[in-house]
Amino acid sequence: MIFEIDNIELYFSEKQILNGVYLKAEPGKITGILGSNGCGKSSLLNIFFGSLQARHQLIRIDKNPFLKPMFKTGFVKYLPQHSFIAPKLRLKQVFNLFKIDWQEFLRNFPKFKT
């Protein structure tokens, strides 16, 4: 699946945070979002996830407009920047909570087996 978010305009009160932002995430590619503190990186991800509504936004999956919030689909998982996970949980337990395949993770990152 190819995820795209396009023409994003976000305001808080009258202050414009995002203007005309475009982001594309493709399978097998790493997509990074870089910027200084307060420039709207987390807001962009919240818009994509569906937990924040922008003034203007277009979200597409495989070039088709997508109108439902992503968090209702199960296609996308979002882990906020502030920890909300109990410190005593093991990584494997966290993966189970988020329905992430632990074995697939180990195949991609074999150093975690130790």
Q: Please state the φ and ψ torsions of residue 33, each to the nearest 5 degrees.
A: -120, 110
| Res 39 pLDDT > 60 | yes
User: Would you kindly state where each structural domain of the chain is located, as residue ranges?
Assistant: 3-77, 83-114
Res 79: pLDDT: 67
**What is the rounded distance in angstroms from the CA atom of residue 17 to the CA atom of residue 39?**
7
- pLDDT tens-digit profile of 50-60? 888 898 889 99
From 26, 24, 28, select the one nearest 5 (Cα to Cα): 24
Task: Report pLDDT digits (tens) over 16-29.
Answer: 999 999 999 999 99
